[in-house]
Amino acid sequence: MSDKRKHLSLVEIIFEIRINKGLKAKIVIMLFRLSNYYTSKNLILKTLGLIFVMLNKMINELLFSVELPYKTKIKKGLIIWHPHCIVINAGCEIGYNFVIRQGCTLGANKKGRPNKFIIGDGVTMGVNSSVLSDDIEVGDNVIIGAGVILFKSIEKDHYVINKNQLLINSLPRKQSG
């Protein structure tokens, strides 16, 4: 996808569908990518895109609980593992080869749309992780671990994990008698 063009070509969409595993992921990718055509200046593509904007809303959001607004800018190579309960704000700009898993959120913290929300190339998000801020930049090749809630920018080639350990106590024994 060129920087000027806001949508992938059909060949790029087919490639992205093929690299995703599972029927549900393929459907989510297809509906999202085809809904991007609504941003086209070409009237035919815009009309086609409108149909997929509605299908994206009905199927991805209502059925699969995956919110990927048609205005969201995600470069090619998007991979979604177990697409369920995923929210990506329309104001996010996401680089090439982004990997996201179930339960993830990317979006503004206090505003409806972030001022600057940039996710670099090759970023991977673990299960139930979130990136929340109105002004954030995550560099290239960053791994965001499972359960991490990220509020600040991260430089390229880093990983972020949750250092808090879960304390497990034994349950009190029931007294018999």
Per-domain boundaries in the chain: 1-70, 85-160
Q: For 28, left (φ over 0), alpha (ψ -120 to 50), or beta?
A: alpha
Cβ(123)–Cβ(104) under 8 Å? no
Q: How would you classify the pairing of strands 116-119 and 93-94?
A: parallel
DSSP 94: E
Residue 4's pLDDT is 58
Q: Which residues contact 131 (CB under 8 A, 6 or more apart)?
A: 105, 106, 107, 117, 119, 125, 138, 144, 150
What would the two tokens of residue 76 be?
């090619």
Q: What is the distance, to the nearest Å, from the Cα of residue 19 to the centroid of all Cα atoms in its chain?
A: 16
pLDDT, one tens digit per residue, over 120-160 is 999 999 999 999 998 999 999 999 999 999 999 999 999 99
Does domain 85-160 sit in CATH 3.40.30.10?
A: no
Parts of the chain with a pLDDT under 70: 1-5, 163-171, 176-177
Residue 3's pLDDT is 46
Residue 18's pLDDT is 97
Tell me how far apart the terminal alpha carbons of the chain are, to the nearest angstrom.
72
Rounded to whole angstroms, how far apart are CA atoms 56 and 53?
A: 5
Residue 2's pLDDT is 44
Residue 38's pLDDT is 95
Could you give the strand order of the β-sheet that contains 149-150, starting from the edge strand earlier in sequence?
A: 66-67, 86-88, 105-107, 130-132, 149-150
Query: DSSP string covering 68-93, please?
Result: --TT-EE-S--EEES-SSEEE-TT-E
